[in-house]
Amino acid sequence: MKYQNKFLLLLIIISIFTIISIGCVSDSIVPGIDPNPSVNPENSTVSHLEVTTSSSTIKINQSQQLVVRGYNSDDEWVILDKSKIKLWDWSVQGQCYVCVKPYVTLTPQSSSLTTTFTSGTAGTFFIVAYYQENVVDDYITDYTEIIVK
Protein backbone atom coordinates (compact mmCIF):
# COMPACT_ATOMS: atom_id res chain seq x y z
CA MET A 1 0.00 0.00 0.00
CA LYS A 2 2.84 2.39 0.87
CA TYR A 3 4.53 1.85 -2.51
CA GLN A 4 1.26 2.28 -4.41
CA ASN A 5 0.80 5.75 -2.89
CA LYS A 6 4.36 6.78 -3.86
CA PHE A 7 3.88 5.41 -7.36
CA LEU A 8 0.57 7.25 -7.74
CA LEU A 9 2.10 10.50 -6.44
CA LEU A 10 5.06 10.13 -8.82
CA LEU A 11 2.69 9.46 -11.73
CA ILE A 12 0.68 12.59 -10.91
CA ILE A 13 3.83 14.74 -10.70
CA ILE A 14 5.12 13.43 -14.02
CA SER A 15 1.72 14.06 -15.61
CA ILE A 16 1.66 17.65 -14.35
CA PHE A 17 5.15 18.37 -15.69
CA THR A 18 4.23 16.82 -19.04
CA ILE A 19 1.08 18.94 -19.33
CA ILE A 20 2.98 22.10 -18.36
CA SER A 21 5.79 21.44 -20.84
CA ILE A 22 3.37 20.74 -23.70
CA GLY A 23 1.30 23.82 -22.86
CA CYS A 24 4.35 26.13 -22.80
CA VAL A 25 5.67 25.20 -26.24
CA SER A 26 5.23 28.06 -28.67
CA ASP A 27 3.50 26.97 -31.85
CA SER A 28 4.75 30.08 -33.65
CA ILE A 29 8.26 28.77 -34.24
CA VAL A 30 8.50 27.05 -37.59
CA PRO A 31 11.47 24.66 -37.61
CA GLY A 32 13.32 24.13 -40.88
CA ILE A 33 11.48 26.82 -42.79
CA ASP A 34 13.01 27.75 -46.14
CA PRO A 35 12.04 31.35 -46.89
CA ASN A 36 13.39 31.12 -50.43
CA PRO A 37 11.44 30.05 -53.51
CA SER A 38 12.59 26.91 -55.31
CA VAL A 39 13.65 28.87 -58.41
CA ASN A 40 14.58 32.46 -59.15
CA PRO A 41 12.63 34.55 -61.63
CA GLU A 42 14.50 36.00 -64.59
CA ASN A 43 14.86 39.33 -62.77
CA SER A 44 16.57 38.20 -59.55
CA THR A 45 17.74 41.61 -58.35
CA VAL A 46 16.38 42.29 -54.86
CA SER A 47 14.47 45.57 -54.68
CA HIS A 48 12.63 45.16 -51.38
CA LEU A 49 12.26 42.86 -48.39
CA GLU A 50 9.39 41.64 -46.30
CA VAL A 51 9.84 40.60 -42.67
CA THR A 52 6.97 38.39 -41.55
CA THR A 53 5.90 36.49 -38.47
CA SER A 54 3.02 34.16 -37.69
CA SER A 55 1.71 36.41 -34.91
CA SER A 56 2.14 40.08 -34.13
CA THR A 57 1.26 39.58 -30.45
CA ILE A 58 3.07 37.29 -28.02
CA LYS A 59 3.30 36.80 -24.28
CA ILE A 60 6.27 37.71 -22.09
CA ASN A 61 9.07 35.09 -22.45
CA GLN A 62 7.39 33.53 -25.49
CA SER A 63 9.60 33.08 -28.56
CA GLN A 64 8.56 34.21 -32.01
CA GLN A 65 10.29 33.32 -35.28
CA LEU A 66 10.65 36.00 -37.94
CA VAL A 67 11.35 35.35 -41.61
CA VAL A 68 12.71 37.67 -44.29
CA ARG A 69 11.79 37.28 -47.96
CA GLY A 70 13.14 39.19 -50.94
CA TYR A 71 11.24 40.54 -53.93
CA ASN A 72 12.29 42.07 -57.23
CA SER A 73 10.89 45.24 -58.82
CA ASP A 74 8.06 43.16 -60.33
CA ASP A 75 7.07 41.93 -56.84
CA GLU A 76 8.24 38.43 -57.69
CA TRP A 77 9.69 36.37 -54.87
CA VAL A 78 13.47 35.94 -55.32
CA ILE A 79 16.13 33.82 -53.67
CA LEU A 80 18.08 35.66 -50.97
CA ASP A 81 21.66 34.91 -50.02
CA LYS A 82 21.61 34.49 -46.24
CA SER A 83 25.20 35.71 -45.96
CA LYS A 84 23.97 39.10 -47.19
CA ILE A 85 21.67 39.51 -44.18
CA LYS A 86 24.07 41.87 -42.42
CA LEU A 87 22.00 42.43 -39.30
CA TRP A 88 18.79 41.58 -37.49
CA ASP A 89 18.08 44.31 -34.94
CA TRP A 90 15.29 45.53 -32.70
CA SER A 91 13.98 48.70 -31.09
CA VAL A 92 11.29 49.36 -28.51
CA GLN A 93 8.64 52.06 -28.55
CA GLY A 94 8.21 54.39 -25.58
CA GLN A 95 10.68 52.65 -23.29
CA CYS A 96 14.33 53.03 -22.38
CA TYR A 97 16.30 50.80 -24.79
CA VAL A 98 19.12 50.27 -22.28
CA CYS A 99 16.60 49.31 -19.57
CA VAL A 100 14.86 46.76 -21.82
CA LYS A 101 17.98 45.35 -23.52
CA PRO A 102 18.83 42.74 -20.81
CA TYR A 103 15.39 41.17 -21.27
CA VAL A 104 15.45 40.85 -25.07
CA THR A 105 17.01 38.08 -27.13
CA LEU A 106 17.31 38.09 -30.92
CA THR A 107 19.21 35.14 -32.39
CA PRO A 108 20.89 34.82 -34.75
CA GLN A 109 21.67 38.46 -35.49
CA SER A 110 23.15 38.03 -38.98
CA SER A 111 23.66 35.64 -41.89
CA SER A 112 20.26 33.99 -41.51
CA LEU A 113 16.93 34.36 -43.26
CA THR A 114 15.18 33.64 -39.95
CA THR A 115 15.67 34.92 -36.42
CA THR A 116 13.99 34.23 -33.10
CA PHE A 117 12.79 37.06 -30.86
CA THR A 118 12.06 36.72 -27.15
CA SER A 119 11.29 39.45 -24.62
CA GLY A 120 11.09 39.15 -20.87
CA THR A 121 9.25 42.46 -20.63
CA ALA A 122 6.08 43.89 -22.15
CA GLY A 123 6.18 46.49 -24.89
CA THR A 124 5.89 47.26 -28.58
CA PHE A 125 8.97 46.07 -30.44
CA PHE A 126 10.13 46.60 -34.00
CA ILE A 127 12.38 43.92 -35.52
CA VAL A 128 14.31 44.91 -38.65
CA ALA A 129 16.39 43.00 -41.19
CA TYR A 130 19.26 44.64 -43.12
CA TYR A 131 20.20 43.12 -46.48
CA GLN A 132 23.14 44.31 -48.60
CA GLU A 133 23.50 42.89 -52.09
CA ASN A 134 26.97 44.38 -52.70
CA VAL A 135 29.39 46.19 -50.39
CA VAL A 136 28.93 49.47 -52.29
CA ASP A 137 25.10 49.23 -52.19
CA ASP A 138 22.82 50.76 -49.58
CA TYR A 139 21.05 48.44 -47.19
CA ILE A 140 17.63 47.14 -48.15
CA THR A 141 15.52 46.94 -44.99
CA ASP A 142 12.13 46.00 -43.70
CA TYR A 143 10.67 45.62 -40.24
CA THR A 144 7.68 44.20 -38.44
CA GLU A 145 6.00 45.08 -35.18
CA ILE A 146 5.56 42.63 -32.31
CA ILE A 147 3.53 43.50 -29.23
CA VAL A 148 4.59 41.65 -26.09
CA LYS A 149 1.91 41.43 -23.40
pTM, two decimal places: 0.76
In angstroms, the CA 36 to CA 23 distance is 31
List pLDDT tens digits, range 22-49: 444 443 445 556 789 999 999 999 999 9
Name 57's bridge partners: 147
List pLDDT tens digits, range 109-141: 999 999 999 999 999 999 999 999 988 999 999
Helix (H, G, I), strand (E, B) or coil at 127: strand
Q: Does any domain span residue 8?
A: no
Domain extent at residue 141: 28-148
Residue 72's domain is classified under what CATH number? 2.60.40.10
In angstroms, the CA 82 to CA 131 distance is 9
Integer angstrom CA distances of residue 144 from 38, 50, 64, 120: 25, 8, 12, 19
Q: What is the DSSP string of 46-108?
A: --EEEEEES-SEE-TT-EEEEEEEEE-TT--EE---GGGEEEEEEEEESS-HHHHGGGEEEE-
Domains contained in the chain, number: 1
Q: Does any domain span residue 10?
A: no
Q: Does any domain span residue 20?
A: no
